[in-house]
Amino acid sequence: MENLDLISILGSTIRLSIPLIFTALAGLFTERAGVFDIGLEGKMLFSAFAAAVAAFMTGSPWLGLLAGITVSVLISLIHGFASITNRGNQIVSGVAINFLASGLTAVLGQAWFSQGGRTPPLAASARFTEIVFPYAAELRDTGFLGRFYANIISGHNILTYLAFLAVPASWWVLYRTRFGLRLRAVGENPGAVDTAGISVTFLRYRATICAGILCGFAGTYLSIAQSAGFVKDMSAGKGYIALAALIFAKWRPVPVMLACLLFGFLDAFANFMQGKSVPGIGEVPVQIFQALPYVLTCVLLAGFIGVARPPKAGGVPYVKER
Amino acid sequence: MSTASVPLPNWITYGLMPFLNLVVAFLISGVVVWFIGESPLDAVTLLLQGALGNGEGIGFTLYYATNFIFTGLSVAVAYHAGLFNIGSEGQAYVGGLGAALASLALDHYVPWYVTMPFAVAGAAIFGATWALIPAWLQAKRGSHIVITTIMFNFIGAAMMVYLLVHVLIVPGKMAPETRVFLEGGQLPKLDWLIAMFGGKLGPAPFNVSFLIALFMCVVVWVLIWRTKLGYEIRTLGASPTAAIYAGIPYVKTVIITMLISGGLAGMMALNPVLGASARLQVEFVGGAGFVGIAVSLMGRSHPLGIVLAAILFGVLYQGGDALSFDMPKITRDMIVVIQGLVILFAGALEYLFRPAIVRVWQRFGKA
């Protein structure tokens, strides 16, 4: 392996991890509240589309972000209406949202812009662009630490830094506030929460809204920070990888970030390895890296790396009376 | 007291409610069509003409329906045991490998009716194998089958792409697919069946798999409602604790149910691989596994309902294709929207109208 460029791999690891971190944190809120969320993928796609359309129309990335979050929250509320109020099957509802997202974004994109489901390319002013920290350019050529500063600490867009802020923020909300305590309780034993006089329904709705906001960031990142516009089906299974990361992290905030970084690293490493050959082994097929996050998660679920215990009331609609 | 526990007659639960849900799903689809500036009525006319207007259209409709019958049955069998097999997609994909290997091995030597049983067995065994690990994880380790089957969809997709790109590809060719099977490795078309009704099949790939699918419907009906295993499966689905208390072996029943479910999903591969394209291609499943979820939900997990729902989705698929030719503004993705709405209203929101219906029923129906 000639010139294994660690810095550039780590740089792209971070870029590829950001949507995973936002989305997995979104799943953390809903699943800890006892609502399964297979629809993360769809929410990400919907918000990516909304953000790209709004940013194109208004020229402002912030309005794009607002649109992405708004749409994602609305979709979350549909999921909530189906699975909390109507006590429907939460998995079916998630599958429906994924179908709707994949279809509706493509249909509307084609009808509005006639570019094969894409949105028109965005100008740099309508996107979240890289923030260059002071002295990054000067330090770029001063050895490993300088390059680390220039390429990994500096040079990302604002959403990247927000993602890393969202991790401690989620931790604080879930473990240090009354809302978080109740949210975790409602995922384990909704009956007890109800007996204490707290509305299970309202709590779970608030949890899905939190998830909608976070998914909105993830989708916005995809379409107007990482790329310059929406492309059909651009979430490409990231919602499911985030779900795997959530399980891999055993439903805890800081491990969620680490798992997302690990899966992002696998992705970046696969890109790097494409077409290169390892001495003695030959070319490693890229499919191995693509399957690895899922294989690792299944191995974890099989109980070979500790035990992943999901929230007890997950997936079960709460019935107050019979 | 809420309206949830008021009993309703069967014709409302199994007839009126699904019908109302479907109507709402189609009404919203119509709104989407209207929103992008086309006439919903014209769209429906074009769609129905494209799907049912001539022999070729019907052939394509039934070809798609065949896929959905298999995956619908797959989802339904697992659903009867209270298991949500979301992995029919991956099981069908891997099942294609089994079917293709049988054809590749035999097509030089024997006619199709000798190859067929081997291909059926190959597809079913490979599909079942792909369901085995998620089933074992669910039964022994308690990890949720929805999660593991999703993971196995992706693992299966990666594995199949690897095999097609590196192993099964024809040397010197660019396309990641196997060689074309000879006639001995293909399933013949059912042009005589369409001709019996006075139509012409044309190039539509409607083939013998359809008859296999109908046969499997009968098999599944017998299995679920007329055998001891079926009784155990349904008991497990109704109440796992009661089933265990009654002495039904949990681990064994879960694993066998999932093997059957995976096998049915795998057999779906016969239709596109042996019946239509006569070779194994990347992504040949094309979402049929997920459509199976909608089909099974709409068909209330009963083989008869599944056939009807599968034909409905076949009409949507073929009609949608025709529609996208005539109305370029409405792309094929519109079908995905309709599917999503059908899954949302017929599945997740299935009780949406129940409280209102209960109130009407209590007021007028009983008296």
Q: What is the pLDDT of residues B165-224, one digit of tens each?
A: 988 988 888 888 999 999 888 999 888 888 888 778 888 899 999 999 999 999 999 999
- Distance from the B290 Cα atom to the nearest Cα atom in chain A, whole angstroms: 8
* Count of the separate structural domains present in chain B: 1
Q: Does A93 touch chain B (CB under 8 A)?
A: yes
Question: Is residue A150 scored above 60 in pLDDT?
Answer: yes
The pLDDT score that the predictor gives to residue B85 is 92
Which residues in chain A are contacts of B3 at CB distance < 8 A? none
Of A278 and B284, the one with more pLDDT: B284
| Cβ-nearest to B337 among A92, A100, A287 | A100
Measured CA to CA in angstroms, residue A149 lies from A5, A131, A269, A299, A313 at distances of 15, 13, 20, 36, 44
* Phi/psi of residue B320, nearest 5 degrees: -65, -40
Chain segment B275-297, per-residue pLDDT in tens: 999 999 999 998 899 889 889 98
Quickly count: other Cβ atoms within 10 Å of residue A275's Cβ: 7
Taking a C-beta distance cutoff of 8 angstroms, is the pair B155, A295 a contact?
A: yes
Of the candidates B340, B315, B333, B326, the one whose C-alpha atom is nearest the C-alpha of residue B43 is B326
**Domain assignment present for B41:** yes
CB B128 within 8 A of CB B114: no
Interface test with A, best of B136, B154, B160 (most A CBs within 10 A): B154
B234: number of Cβ within 10 Å: 16
- What is the reported pLDDT for A63? 95
- CA-based diameter of chain A, in Å? 70
Structure-model confidence comparison of residues B212 and B338, the more confident one: B212
How far does B200 lie from chain A, in Å, by closest CA?
A: 32
- Residue A278 φ/ψ, nearest 5 degrees: -90, 135
Look at residue A322 and tell me whether its pLDDT is greater than 80.
no
B327 CA: distance to closest CA in chain A (Å): 11
CA dist B115 and B102 (Å) reads 7
Average pLDDT over residues B305-319: 92
According to DSSP, the β-strands at A282-283 and A277-278 are antiparallel
Of A20, A69, A13, residue with least CA distance to A43? A69
Are A240 and B5 a contacting pair at CB < 8 A? no
What value, to the nearest 5°, has the Cα angle with vertex B42 and ends B40 and B48? Answer: 100
End-to-end CA gap in chain B: 21
Report d(CA B299, CA A304) in Å as an integer.
Answer: 39
Q: Where are the alpha helices (DSSP H) in A177-199?
A: 178-188, 190-195
pLDDT of residue A2: 44
Question: Residue B294 is inside which H or E element, if any?
Answer: helix B288-298
Please report where in the chains the tokens 């998830």 appear, as a residue: A211
Q: What are phi and psi of B228, to 5 degrees?
A: -65, -45
Q: In this structure, are residues A64 and A233 in contact, taking their beta carbons and an 8 Å threshold?
A: no
> Are residues A264 and A248 in contact, defined by beta-carbon separation less than 8 angstroms?
no
Mean pLDDT of A159-172: 94
Contact residues, A window 107-126, toward B, CB-based 8 Å cutoff: 107-108, 110-111, 117
In this predicted structure, what is the pLDDT of residue B143? 78
Residue A214: closest CA among A20, A17, A54 = A20
Q: Tell whether A243 is within 8 A of chain B (Cβ).
A: yes
Q: Judge whether B258 lies within some domain.
A: yes
Question: Does residue A248 contact residue A300 with C-beta atoms inside 8 Å?
Answer: yes
The pair phi, psi for residue A9, each rounded to 5°, is -65, -45
**Quick check: is B42 in a domain?**
yes
pLDDT at B66 over 60: yes
Within 8 A of A96 by CB-CB distance, chain B residues are 340-341, 343-344, 347-348
Chain pair A-B, CB pairs under 8 angstroms:
153
Residue A221: predicted pLDDT: 95
Alpha helices in chain B (DSSP H): 10, 17-35, 40-52, 55-80, 88-106, 112-136, 145-162, 191-196, 209-226, 228-238, 240-245, 250-267, 288-298, 303-326, 333-342, 354-360
Residues B335, A290: C-beta atoms closer than 8 Å: no
Number of helices followed by number of strands (H, E) in chain A: 13, 2
Range of the domain at B200: 37-358
Q: Which of A97, A103, A240 sits opposite B336 (nearest CB)?
A: A103
What is the CATH classification number for the domain harbouring B232? Answer: 1.10.3470
State the Cα–Cα distance between residues B197 and B62, nearest whole angstrom: 14
Cβ count near B176 (within 10 Å) = 19
Query: DSSP letter at A36?
Result: -
Backbone angles phi, psi at A266, to 5 degrees: -60, -40
Cα–Cα distance measured from residue B89 to residue A2, given in angstroms and rounded to the nearest whole number: 39
B30 within domain boundaries: no
Listed in sequence order, the residues at least 6 apart from B361 whose beta carbon sits closer than 8 Å to its beta carbon are: B6, B8, B12
Question: Across the interface, do B290 and A95 touch by the CB < 8 Å criterion?
Answer: yes
Hey, are the CB atoms on B32 and A104 less than 8 Å from each other? Answer: yes
Residues in A 30-59 with any Cβ partner in B closer than 8 A: 36, 38
Query: In chain B, whose CA is at the least distance from the CA of A287?
Result: B158
Going by C-beta distance under 8 Å and a sequence separation of 6 or more, which residues neighbour residue A302? B137, B141, B143
| pLDDT, tens digit (0-9, with 9 covering 90-100), for A280-301 | 677 778 888 888 888 888 888 7
Residue B327 placed within a domain? yes
Substitution target in B282, B344, B350 with the highest count of A β-carbons within 10 Å is: B344
Nearest by CB to A82, which of B137, B341, B344? B344
Is residue B270 domain-resident? yes
- Residue B13 lies inside a defined structural domain of this protein: no
A311 — pLDDT class (breaks 50, 70, 90): confident
Residue B57 lies in a domain: yes
